[in-house]
Protein backbone atom coordinates (compact mmCIF):
# COMPACT_ATOMS: atom_id res chain seq x y z
CA UNK A 1 0.00 0.00 0.00
CA UNK A 2 1.41 3.38 -0.95
CA UNK A 3 1.91 5.98 1.73
CA UNK A 4 1.70 9.67 1.00
CA UNK A 5 4.91 11.62 1.57
CA UNK A 6 4.42 15.37 1.09
CA UNK A 7 6.75 16.83 -1.51
CA UNK A 8 8.45 20.25 -1.38
CA UNK A 9 6.91 23.57 -2.33
CA UNK A 10 3.20 23.77 -2.98
CA UNK A 11 2.25 20.71 -0.92
CA UNK A 12 4.17 21.69 2.20
CA UNK A 13 2.47 25.07 2.20
CA UNK A 14 -0.93 23.48 1.56
CA UNK A 15 -0.43 21.14 4.50
CA UNK A 16 0.22 24.06 6.82
CA UNK A 17 -2.83 25.87 5.49
CA UNK A 18 -4.99 22.79 6.04
CA UNK A 19 -3.87 22.76 9.67
CA UNK A 20 -5.30 26.26 9.97
CA UNK A 21 -8.53 25.23 8.23
CA UNK A 22 -8.96 22.29 10.58
CA UNK A 23 -8.91 24.73 13.47
CA UNK A 24 -7.60 22.33 16.06
CA UNK A 25 -3.97 22.07 15.00
CA UNK A 26 -2.00 19.10 13.68
CA UNK A 27 -2.86 16.85 16.64
CA UNK A 28 -6.57 17.01 15.86
CA UNK A 29 -5.82 16.15 12.22
CA UNK A 30 -3.83 13.07 13.17
CA UNK A 31 -6.56 11.88 15.55
CA UNK A 32 -9.08 12.13 12.72
CA UNK A 33 -7.22 10.03 10.15
CA UNK A 34 -10.13 7.87 9.02
CA UNK A 35 -12.38 7.89 5.99
CA UNK A 36 -12.16 7.33 2.25
CA UNK A 37 -9.06 8.55 0.44
CA UNK A 38 -7.60 8.31 -3.06
CA UNK A 39 -5.30 5.28 -3.61
CA UNK A 40 -2.98 7.44 -5.69
CA UNK A 41 -0.82 5.44 -8.13
CA UNK A 42 -1.13 2.30 -5.96
CA UNK A 43 -1.42 0.01 -8.95
CA UNK A 44 -1.85 -3.05 -6.71
CA UNK A 45 -4.99 -1.49 -5.25
CA UNK A 46 -8.11 -3.63 -5.83
CA UNK A 47 -10.57 -1.84 -8.10
CA UNK A 48 -14.23 -2.52 -7.26
CA UNK A 49 -16.63 -0.94 -9.77
CA UNK A 50 -20.32 -0.73 -8.96
CA UNK A 51 -21.98 -3.96 -10.10
CA UNK A 52 -18.77 -5.23 -11.69
CA UNK A 53 -16.15 -7.89 -10.99
CA UNK A 54 -13.23 -6.49 -8.95
CA UNK A 55 -9.64 -6.69 -10.11
CA UNK A 56 -6.44 -4.69 -10.54
CA UNK A 57 -5.71 -2.42 -13.48
CA UNK A 58 -3.95 -4.18 -16.36
CA UNK A 59 -4.29 -1.37 -18.92
CA UNK A 60 -5.92 2.03 -19.29
CA UNK A 61 -6.58 4.68 -21.92
CA UNK A 62 -6.64 8.45 -21.55
CA UNK A 63 -7.31 11.53 -23.63
CA UNK A 64 -5.37 14.71 -22.90
CA UNK A 65 -5.35 18.30 -24.07
CA UNK A 66 -2.27 20.37 -23.22
CA UNK A 67 -2.08 24.12 -23.85
CA UNK A 68 0.91 26.44 -23.47
CA UNK A 69 1.26 30.04 -24.68
CA UNK A 70 -1.55 29.75 -27.22
CA UNK A 71 -0.39 26.43 -28.64
CA UNK A 72 -2.45 23.28 -28.11
CA UNK A 73 -1.79 19.56 -28.38
CA UNK A 74 -4.30 16.73 -28.08
CA UNK A 75 -2.99 13.28 -27.18
CA UNK A 76 -4.29 9.73 -26.95
CA UNK A 77 -2.49 7.64 -24.33
CA UNK A 78 -2.75 3.83 -24.26
CA UNK A 79 -1.03 2.38 -21.20
CA UNK A 80 -0.12 -1.05 -19.87
CA UNK A 81 0.66 -1.83 -16.24
CA UNK A 82 3.46 -4.32 -16.78
CA UNK A 83 3.85 -5.33 -13.13
CA UNK A 84 6.44 -4.98 -10.40
CA UNK A 85 10.16 -5.18 -11.04
CA UNK A 86 13.40 -4.29 -9.31
CA UNK A 87 14.47 -1.27 -11.35
CA UNK A 88 18.03 0.00 -11.60
CA UNK A 89 17.93 3.73 -10.90
CA UNK A 90 21.04 5.71 -11.85
CA UNK A 91 21.83 9.02 -10.17
CA UNK A 92 24.86 11.26 -10.66
CA UNK A 93 26.90 12.05 -7.55
CA UNK A 94 29.00 15.19 -7.78
CA UNK A 95 31.92 16.04 -5.47
CA UNK A 96 32.84 19.71 -5.88
CA UNK A 97 35.96 19.31 -3.72
CA UNK A 98 37.72 17.46 -6.55
CA UNK A 99 35.32 18.28 -9.42
CA UNK A 100 34.37 14.66 -10.09
CA UNK A 101 31.11 12.96 -11.01
CA UNK A 102 30.23 9.31 -10.52
CA UNK A 103 27.12 7.28 -11.24
CA UNK A 104 25.38 5.71 -8.25
CA UNK A 105 22.95 2.86 -8.96
CA UNK A 106 20.10 2.00 -6.59
CA UNK A 107 17.73 -0.96 -6.86
CA UNK A 108 14.11 0.10 -6.19
CA UNK A 109 10.96 -2.02 -6.43
CA UNK A 110 8.72 -0.20 -8.90
CA UNK A 111 5.55 -0.49 -10.90
CA UNK A 112 6.49 -0.49 -14.59
CA UNK A 113 3.92 1.40 -16.66
CA UNK A 114 4.25 1.52 -20.45
CA UNK A 115 2.58 4.34 -22.40
CA UNK A 116 1.96 4.58 -26.15
CA UNK A 117 1.21 8.19 -27.12
CA UNK A 118 -0.14 9.56 -30.39
CA UNK A 119 -0.82 13.19 -31.27
CA UNK A 120 -4.41 13.66 -32.44
CA UNK A 121 -4.11 17.42 -33.02
CA UNK A 122 -1.54 20.21 -32.78
CA UNK A 123 -1.58 23.84 -33.89
CA UNK A 124 2.09 24.41 -33.06
CA UNK A 125 3.20 24.09 -36.68
CA UNK A 126 6.06 21.84 -35.57
CA UNK A 127 6.69 18.41 -36.97
CA UNK A 128 6.20 15.52 -34.58
CA UNK A 129 6.67 11.74 -34.57
CA UNK A 130 3.80 9.44 -35.47
CA UNK A 131 3.98 7.86 -32.02
CA UNK A 132 5.94 7.96 -28.78
CA UNK A 133 6.53 5.16 -26.27
CA UNK A 134 7.38 6.24 -22.73
CA UNK A 135 7.92 3.75 -19.91
CA UNK A 136 7.80 4.99 -16.31
CA UNK A 137 8.89 3.35 -13.07
CA UNK A 138 6.86 4.34 -9.99
CA UNK A 139 8.09 3.20 -6.54
CA UNK A 140 5.83 0.59 -4.95
CA UNK A 141 6.53 1.60 -1.36
CA UNK A 142 6.40 5.09 0.08
CA UNK A 143 5.20 7.37 -2.69
CA UNK A 144 7.96 9.94 -2.50
CA UNK A 145 8.89 10.42 -6.13
CA UNK A 146 12.38 11.66 -6.88
CA UNK A 147 12.98 13.83 -3.80
CA UNK A 148 13.76 17.17 -5.46
CA UNK A 149 11.15 16.63 -8.18
CA UNK A 150 7.39 16.84 -7.82
CA UNK A 151 6.40 13.91 -10.02
CA UNK A 152 6.05 10.37 -8.66
CA UNK A 153 8.22 8.37 -11.06
CA UNK A 154 11.94 7.79 -10.56
CA UNK A 155 12.88 6.57 -14.03
CA UNK A 156 11.60 7.17 -17.55
CA UNK A 157 12.62 5.97 -21.01
CA UNK A 158 11.61 7.38 -24.38
CA UNK A 159 11.54 6.07 -27.95
CA UNK A 160 9.61 7.44 -30.92
CA UNK A 161 8.75 6.54 -34.50
CA UNK A 162 11.67 8.66 -35.75
CA UNK A 163 14.17 6.53 -33.81
CA UNK A 164 14.93 9.13 -31.14
CA UNK A 165 15.52 7.91 -27.59
CA UNK A 166 15.82 9.31 -24.10
CA UNK A 167 16.46 8.24 -20.51
CA UNK A 168 15.96 10.04 -17.19
CA UNK A 169 16.46 8.62 -13.70
CA UNK A 170 16.96 10.00 -10.21
CA UNK A 171 16.49 8.62 -6.71
CA UNK A 172 18.12 9.42 -3.38
CA UNK A 173 18.42 6.73 -0.75
CA UNK A 174 18.52 7.70 2.92
CA UNK A 175 22.30 7.21 2.87
CA UNK A 176 22.65 9.57 -0.10
CA UNK A 177 20.49 12.20 1.62
CA UNK A 178 22.57 11.88 4.78
CA UNK A 179 25.82 12.31 2.86
CA UNK A 180 24.46 15.39 1.07
CA UNK A 181 23.32 16.85 4.37
CA UNK A 182 26.62 16.32 6.16
CA UNK A 183 29.04 17.22 3.36
CA UNK A 184 28.47 20.51 1.48
CA UNK A 185 30.73 19.40 -1.38
CA UNK A 186 28.40 16.51 -2.25
CA UNK A 187 25.35 16.95 -4.48
CA UNK A 188 23.21 14.72 -6.67
CA UNK A 189 21.49 15.26 -10.01
CA UNK A 190 19.50 13.18 -12.49
CA UNK A 191 21.17 10.82 -14.91
CA UNK A 192 20.14 11.78 -18.45
CA UNK A 193 20.66 10.46 -21.95
CA UNK A 194 19.00 11.74 -25.11
CA UNK A 195 15.80 13.78 -24.78
CA UNK A 196 12.02 13.51 -24.35
CA UNK A 197 11.28 16.28 -26.89
CA UNK A 198 8.60 17.96 -24.79
CA UNK A 199 6.51 14.84 -24.20
CA UNK A 200 7.67 14.59 -20.57
CA UNK A 201 6.37 18.07 -19.78
CA UNK A 202 3.37 17.97 -22.10
CA UNK A 203 2.02 14.57 -21.03
CA UNK A 204 3.70 13.04 -18.01
CA UNK A 205 4.55 16.00 -15.76
CA UNK A 206 0.82 16.67 -15.65
CA UNK A 207 -0.41 13.09 -15.35
CA UNK A 208 2.12 12.05 -12.71
CA UNK A 209 3.17 15.45 -11.37
CA UNK A 210 0.72 18.33 -11.20
CA UNK A 211 -2.20 15.98 -10.52
CA UNK A 212 -0.26 14.59 -7.56
CA UNK A 213 0.63 18.09 -6.41
CA UNK A 214 -2.98 19.14 -6.44
CA UNK A 215 -4.69 16.13 -4.91
CA UNK A 216 -2.15 14.32 -2.72
CA UNK A 217 -3.72 15.84 0.40
CA UNK A 218 -6.71 13.58 -0.38
CA UNK A 219 -4.53 10.51 -1.04
CA UNK A 220 -3.86 7.70 1.42
CA UNK A 221 -1.86 9.12 4.32
CA UNK A 222 -2.98 12.70 3.55
CA UNK A 223 -4.96 14.95 5.88
CA UNK A 224 -8.16 15.36 3.86
CA UNK A 225 -10.85 12.89 2.88
CA UNK A 226 -13.22 12.20 0.01
CA UNK A 227 -16.36 13.53 1.67
CA UNK A 228 -18.75 16.47 1.46
CA UNK A 229 -16.55 19.32 2.67
CA UNK A 230 -15.14 22.74 1.87
CA UNK A 231 -12.70 25.15 3.46
CA UNK A 232 -10.38 28.07 2.88
CA UNK A 233 -7.49 29.85 4.53
CA UNK A 234 -5.31 32.52 2.98
CA UNK A 235 -4.61 31.66 -0.66
CA UNK A 236 -5.93 28.11 -0.34
CA UNK A 237 -9.52 26.95 -0.86
CA UNK A 238 -11.12 23.61 -1.65
CA UNK A 239 -14.47 21.88 -2.00
CA UNK A 240 -15.42 18.21 -2.32
CA UNK A 241 -18.80 16.85 -3.45
CA UNK A 242 -20.12 13.37 -4.21
CA UNK A 243 -20.77 12.29 -7.81
CA UNK A 244 -20.71 9.20 -10.04
CA UNK A 245 -18.76 8.52 -13.20
CA UNK A 246 -18.49 5.91 -15.96
CA UNK A 247 -15.08 4.77 -17.18
CA UNK A 248 -15.64 2.64 -20.25
CA UNK A 249 -17.93 -0.21 -19.21
CA UNK A 250 -17.46 0.42 -15.48
CA UNK A 251 -19.42 2.65 -13.11
CA UNK A 252 -17.83 4.26 -10.04
CA UNK A 253 -18.90 6.28 -7.05
CA UNK A 254 -16.60 9.29 -7.08
CA UNK A 255 -15.93 12.77 -5.73
CA UNK A 256 -15.60 16.08 -7.52
CA UNK A 257 -12.74 18.17 -6.12
CA UNK A 258 -12.06 21.83 -6.74
CA UNK A 259 -9.12 23.63 -5.19
CA UNK A 260 -7.11 26.77 -5.75
CA UNK A 261 -3.77 27.89 -4.40
CA UNK A 262 -1.92 31.09 -5.36
CA UNK A 263 -3.42 31.21 -8.84
CA UNK A 264 -3.10 27.46 -9.52
CA UNK A 265 -6.50 25.91 -10.21
CA UNK A 266 -7.24 22.19 -9.88
CA UNK A 267 -10.51 20.46 -10.71
CA UNK A 268 -10.79 16.70 -10.64
CA UNK A 269 -12.90 13.60 -10.21
CA UNK A 270 -11.39 10.91 -8.00
CA UNK A 271 -12.68 7.58 -6.72
CA UNK A 272 -11.36 5.69 -3.69
CA UNK A 273 -11.67 2.58 -5.88
CA UNK A 274 -9.25 3.83 -8.55
CA UNK A 275 -5.51 4.60 -8.29
CA UNK A 276 -5.78 6.91 -11.32
CA UNK A 277 -7.71 10.16 -11.63
CA UNK A 278 -10.96 9.89 -13.64
CA UNK A 279 -10.88 13.48 -14.83
CA UNK A 280 -8.55 16.40 -14.10
CA UNK A 281 -8.32 20.01 -15.27
CA UNK A 282 -5.17 21.83 -14.10
CA UNK A 283 -4.49 25.50 -14.86
CA UNK A 284 -1.13 26.68 -13.60
CA UNK A 285 -0.40 30.20 -12.42
CA UNK A 286 1.77 32.50 -14.58
CA UNK A 287 4.88 31.76 -12.51
CA UNK A 288 4.47 28.13 -13.64
CA UNK A 289 3.97 29.16 -17.26
CA UNK A 290 0.14 29.35 -17.35
CA UNK A 291 0.12 25.80 -18.67
CA UNK A 292 -3.21 23.98 -18.95
CA UNK A 293 -3.68 20.20 -18.65
CA UNK A 294 -6.97 18.34 -19.15
CA UNK A 295 -7.03 14.54 -18.70
CA UNK A 296 -9.89 12.06 -18.96
CA UNK A 297 -9.64 8.37 -18.16
CA UNK A 298 -11.59 6.77 -21.03
CA UNK A 299 -11.15 3.06 -20.35
CA UNK A 300 -9.61 0.44 -18.05
CA UNK A 301 -9.00 -3.29 -18.24
CA UNK A 302 -9.10 -5.26 -15.00
CA UNK A 303 -7.64 -8.66 -14.21
- Report residue 17's pLDDT band, with 50, 70 and 90 as the boundaries: very low
Mean pLDDT, residues 264-271 taken together: 95
- 5 confidence band (pLDDT: 50, 70, 90): very low
Residues 240 and 267: their CA atoms lie apart, in Å, by 10
- Give the residue-averaged pLDDT of 31-46: 81
Over residues 233-238, the mean pLDDT reads 90
Q: Considering only CA atoms, which of 132, 135, 151 is closest in space to residue 143?
A: 151
Query: What's the CA gap between 96 and 21, in Å, rounded?
Result: 44
Structural domains counted in the chain: 1
Q: Which domain holds residue 291?
A: 3-302
pLDDT digits (tens, 9 = 90+) for 82-102: 999 999 999 999 999 999 999
Question: What is the percentage of the chain residues whose pLDDT exceeds 90?
Answer: 69
DSSP H helices, 66-208, are 174-182, 199, 205
Whether residue 3 is predicted with pLDDT greater than 50 in this model: the reply is no
The better pLDDT of the pair 152, 18 is held by: 152
pLDDT tens-place string over residues 141-173: 766 666 678 899 999 999 999 999 999 999 999
Neighbour count for residue 157 (Cβ, 10 Å): 18
CA of residue 121 relative to chain centroid, distance: 24
Q: Check residue 6 and report its DSSP letter.
A: P
In this prediction, residues 19-37 reach a mean pLDDT of 49
Q: CB of 257 within 8 A of CB of 244? A: no
**pLDDT average, residue stretch 98-109:** 96
In the prediction, which pLDDT does 34 show?
62
Residue 249 predicted with pLDDT over 80 = yes
**Cα–Cα distance between 181 and 178 in angstroms, integer?**
5
pLDDT at 72 over 70: yes
| Neighbour tally for 284: CB within 10 Å | 19
Separation of alpha carbons 146 and 135, rounded Å: 16
pLDDT of residue 169: 96
d(CA 222, CA 46): 20
pLDDT grade, residue 24 (50/70/90)?
very low
Mean pLDDT of all residues in 211-225: 88
Among 110, 111, 109, which Cα is nearest to 60's?
111
Averaged pLDDT score across all residues of the chain:
87
Cα separation values, 55 from 13, 47, 59, 273, 303, Å: 36, 5, 12, 10, 5
Amino acid sequence: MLRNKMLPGLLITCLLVIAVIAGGGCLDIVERLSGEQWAAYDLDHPVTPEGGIPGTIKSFTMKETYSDSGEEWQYSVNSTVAGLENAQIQTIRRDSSNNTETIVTSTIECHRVEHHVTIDYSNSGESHPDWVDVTLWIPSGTLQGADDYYWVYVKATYVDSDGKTGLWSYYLTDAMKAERGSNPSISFKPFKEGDFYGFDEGVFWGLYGWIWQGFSLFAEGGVLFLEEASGSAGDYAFSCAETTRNVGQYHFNAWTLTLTYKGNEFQGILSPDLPLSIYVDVMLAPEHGSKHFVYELTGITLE
